[in-house]
Structure 1
């Protein structure tokens, strides 16, 4: 798969009326490969899981190298990769653009950049720098007005419009679950809207009906995996047989990365 068709396909997955891109988020090679094997054409990463796996804080620009390392591992795999890069791990737009270039070279076709409720103009400068450096990279611009702020609608719209004008290909509002407000954003923002799935919020089908074009799972799968591990050990300690799905040893081995093939692909461009 060459770079340009992959990018075109990823962008196209955001423009299917009534069929939003369901983007599951992985945290290592095995989780990504298992999700791809279930038929998901695109896989995202989750910053919380990347940080938690190495004992570092999420959202504090502490995992730049870990994020890049994961992208290098996943970028050569036969699925479309979008990377959660927090705020770009830097305040300097040029540094964020340099990271984006590295992710693109690794094989990523998308990047998620969050404003952390900082100045919208600075975030817009980062987006513009990324699009100037890597025009083909799909930039999903996230605002944290509902995740960290008070959910002010005027501020949300202003930020999304600013990011769109800076070149963002899609916009992301995690923490927003109210159907009416989601519909309002769909109608007023000229870009595919990404919503973070919440078990307490609208279903995937309901989000599709509202006009949402991308539904991310964020850290949900990672947290569910940790929960399943805790449930299993609790059952075993209590003398019960643990329930749930347990892939066999051979099934997990089948997910192993083909290192020699990946190295060959990387060495040829």
Structure 2
């Protein structure tokens, strides 16, 4: 097993925070997180592009090249691989691995609110695993985002497992009974869920058998809110700035 795979098979689930640039990744690594993912929403929003529309292939690859040689394990959110051609998705995976990424997240949800056909998404997974066998492929299904498609969750994950997926990711999955059923279905394949402030705690998810908990775009959205709130406080004459990371500390994160 690779070091990244091993993190999915420990007593405590892997808590994967998601960064959107070099500074956010470096700051998280400085807090001791051994593995860091990227957030497609954060990468897209920072570039002024839409998320989930296959518009950020270049930005995603550039960020991987910036982060891949840093002293933490990097998993890249690559939407649906930015293509419906499995060969093109496999080529992207090769480039991400060459940049230093150890994992990739591939989703079957599309920007128009539909799902990629199961056999096509499975073909993408199989192509990536053939091209880069050691790259951890986290197969994401968006069936729980689309409430009318939840019955497809188990058969889709079974197909992705057969295609070679190393992990399964179901954002929007919160019900304990559903989590337990999927853990049993997947067997040795670790289940990944998206953390929600209103959902189960990390301890509760661990007890249900979840092996990886992603923060998705949460940190980016929190940071965005904090920036706007600080500006509003200054405008309103309210105090701001106590405990804020210093200029020199940020320079240190960036090697300055």
Tell me if TM exceeds 0.5: yes
Name 1:240's counterpart in structure 2: 238
Query: In the alignment, what sits opposite 1:105?
Result: 98
Q: Which residue pairs with 1:81 in the alignment?
A: 74
Residues 176-195 of structure 1: pairs in structure 2 closer than 5 A: 176-190=173-187, 191-195=189-193
Aligned ranges for residues 121-140 of structure 1 at < 5 Å? 121-140=119-138
Q: Which runs of 5+ in 1 are unaligned?
A: 1-6, 259-269
- 1:29–1:257: 8 Å Cα contact kept in structure 2? no
Aligned to 1:14: 8
Alpha-carbon deviations, 1:234-253, whole Å to 9, x = none? 11111111267510111101
Aligned twin of 1:45: 38
Contact 1:231 1:242 in 2 (8 A): no
**For 1:147, which of 145, 148, 153 is the aligned residue?**
145
1-structure distance, mates of 2:28, 2:196: 19
CA separation of 1:65 and 1:199: change in aligned 2, threshold 3 A: same
Give the direction of change, closer, same or farther, for the CA distance of 1:132–1:199 in structure 2 (3 Å limit). same
Displacement of 1:150 in angstroms is 2.4
Give 1:58's aligned residue: 51
Q: TM-score, normalised by structure 2?
A: 0.95
CA contact (8 A) 1:97 1:129 kept: yes
Per-residue CA deviations over 1:84-137 (Å, capped at 9, x if unaligned) read 000000000000000000000000000000011210100000000000000000
Mapped partners of 1:255, 1:36: distance in 2: 10
| Counterparts of 2:69 and 2:177, CA distance in 1 | 40
Residue 254 (structure 2) aligns with: 256
Quote the offset at 1:80 in angstroms.
0.1
Compute the displacement of 1:148 (Å).
Answer: 3.1
Paired residues, number: 250
Pick closer, same or farther for the CA change 1:255–1:20 going to 2, 3 Å. same
Give the distance between the partners of 2:120 and 2:149, measured in 1 at CA.
20
Partner of 1:227: 225
Which residues of structure 2 form unaligned runs of 5+? Answer: 110-114
- 1:23, 1:86 → 2: CA distance? 17
The question of whether the paired residues in 2 share the 8 Å contact of 1:124 and 1:162 is answered with: yes
Comparing 138-147 and 173-182, the one that deviates more:
173-182
